Amino acid sequence: MAKFEVRDFDGDLPALSAMARETWLEEYGEHSWPDLYQPALAAYFFASVSDPRFLVAAYDGARLVAFVANVPRRYRLAGRRYLGVLSSMLVARPGYQGAAVYLLGECLRRNQELGADFAVMTIEHNHRSWRMFQEFLRPAHRLTVLKTMHPLVHALDFDRIVTSEGLKRHEVLAIRLAGADRRIMPVATAGVVRLYRAGDLAQVLALVQRTANGDSLVRDFAESTLAVQLHAQPVADTLVYELNGAIKGFVNFTLRDMVSRRACERWTWVEFVGWEACSAAERRALLAGLWQVGHERGCIGILEWNKGYYSAAPLYGARFVPYPRYVDVTAWPLKPDVVLPTVRGVFEQVF
């Protein structure tokens, strides 16, 4: 086994980005993967990390060979509040896969030391990290699959999607028949769809706090962390629906690159939705606005997951289609008294 030393990440985001791209291009082959390590996007994800112990890396001398992020979170579930971490972005160079297992053990120790109740991980099926969890971690730890999810997508530039994703002829035909290659047309409403402004924060926070958490795992935002989530140029923004000076709904999104050996193309990823107070027409207006903004920013598609904390009917009504890639949202309880059930919904980012 290659030698390595585990220590706090040194903060070199360009080095992390280069290492991850080299590794995942080898892992995914002709398939695309979301580049979470692009420096501006990684800095956005790590904005709430104030303690260096949350970002853990392995080094062979001065060379970065493996990495995992533990991003602190507060959650609500079944009437209780929890201190959690979102453990993500696990990556290890070829020849250093043993470092990945060691890093996860170090994360377990650090997360317990920092007082977390549980860790949440999203793991894509049938890839190296998923097989590692099945073989090494699931038999030894109390891991619970909270929810299995798949993407829902709508095209902004379908020809570029066909090329970048290498879609087969029958997939192209099915997407065209479903109408997911067409523009989401705006509808007439009494209010307006516009980009978020800093003065909207209190009203959007009130909408977020209304998110039901009976059988859903829900982010419990502080105002300061929500402000970064809603607007962080050039990677994150939010559309709001305003009626008579009041914010009735919002759709928060990030811009993420999907990378393969064929292409690197940008997608609009839906992060958080709060539109329970909106009518069907107002929700459609938000989706039409999202289509327009994504198109203007050079994205080729919109992607959301079937997270389950809100009805996906407006997405299907706007001709979103499911795509057969699956991730497990897995919880790792860190305290003996924490027992987490499977859930209907997950009000959280996938990264």
Band (130; pLDDT cuts 50, 70, 90):
low
Mean pLDDT value across residues 91-101: 86
Which ranges constitute the DSSP H helices of 144-303? Answer: 158-165, 169-178, 201-209, 223-230, 280-296
- Secondary structure E strands in 93-219: 118-124, 144-149, 151-155, 192-195, 216-219
CA distance 149 to 306: 6
What pLDDT sits at residue 108?
86
| Full DSSP string of 314-349 | HHHHTT-EE-S--EEEEEEE-STT------SEEES-
> Which sequence spans correspond to the domains of the chain?
5-149+328-347, 151-324
Burial class from Cβ neighbours inside 10 Å (0-12, 13-18, 19+) for residue 135 reads exposed
Separation of alpha carbons 9 and 106, rounded Å: 13
Tell me which residue of 54, 124, 74, 88 sits closest to 347, measured CA to CA: 74
Mean per-residue pLDDT, 132-160: 84
Of residues 11, 17, 10, the one with CA closest to residue 39: 17
CATH annotation of 5-149+328-347: 3.40.630.30
Neighbouring residues of 47: CB distance < 8 A, sequence distance ≥ 6:
225, 228, 232
For the ranges 35-39, 128-132, 166-170, the lowest mean pLDDT is seen at 128-132
Question: What pLDDT was estimated at residue 170?
Answer: 96
Note the CATH architecture for domain 151-324: 3-Layer(aba) Sandwich (3.40)
Among candidate residues 155, 210, 209, 192, the one with its CA nearest the CA of residue 282: 192
Q: How far apart are CA 284 and CA 249, in angstroms?
A: 11
Non-local (6+) Cβ contacts of 177 within 8 A are none
What mean pLDDT is predicted for residues 107-124?
91
Q: CA 226 to CA 116: how far, in whole Å?
A: 20
Q: Kindly tell me if the per-residue pLDDT of 160 is higher than 80.
A: yes
Q: pLDDT tens digits, residue range 264-314? A: 999 999 999 999 999 999 999 999 999 999 999 999 999 999 999 999 999
pLDDT for 127 equals 67
Query: What per-residue confidence (pLDDT) applies to 212?
Result: 86
The predicted structure's pLDDT at residue 137: 65
Supply the pLDDT for residue 309: 96
What pLDDT does residue 162 have? 96
What pLDDT is attached to residue 259?
94
Per-residue confidence at 211, pLDDT binned at 50, 70, 90?
Answer: very high
69 — pLDDT class (breaks 50, 70, 90): very high
Q: What is the pLDDT of residue 302?
A: 98
Mean pLDDT, the chain, whole residue set: 93
Q: Is the pLDDT of residue 213 over 90?
A: no
Residues comprising the chain, all counted:
351
Examine domains 5-149+328-347 and 151-324 and report if their fold is the same: yes
Residues 6 or more apart whose Cβ sits within 8 Å of residue 27:
33, 127, 128
Q: Compute the average pLDDT of residues 179-204.
A: 97
Looking at per-residue confidence, does 125 or 204 come out higher? 204
Return the percent helix, strand and coil in the chain, to nearest 5: 35, 35, 35
Mean pLDDT of 221-227: 96
Residues 6-16, mean pLDDT to the nearest whole number: 97
Which two tokens mark 324? 């057969």
Confidence of residue 252 (pLDDT cuts 50, 70, 90): very high
Say which residue the tokens 């009735």 belong to: 248
d(CA 106, CA 109): 5
| 330 and 122 Cβ atoms separated by less than 8 Å | yes
Among the listed residues 274, 294, 103, 80, the one whose alpha carbon sits nearest the alpha carbon of residue 184: 294
Using the 8-state DSSP alphabet, how is residue 311 labeled? -
Query: Which residues make Cβ contacts (< 8 Å) with residue 338, sequence separation at least 6?
Result: 82, 117, 118
pLDDT for 97 = 79
Residue 339's nearest CA partner among 112, 82, 106 is: 82
Reported pTM:
0.94
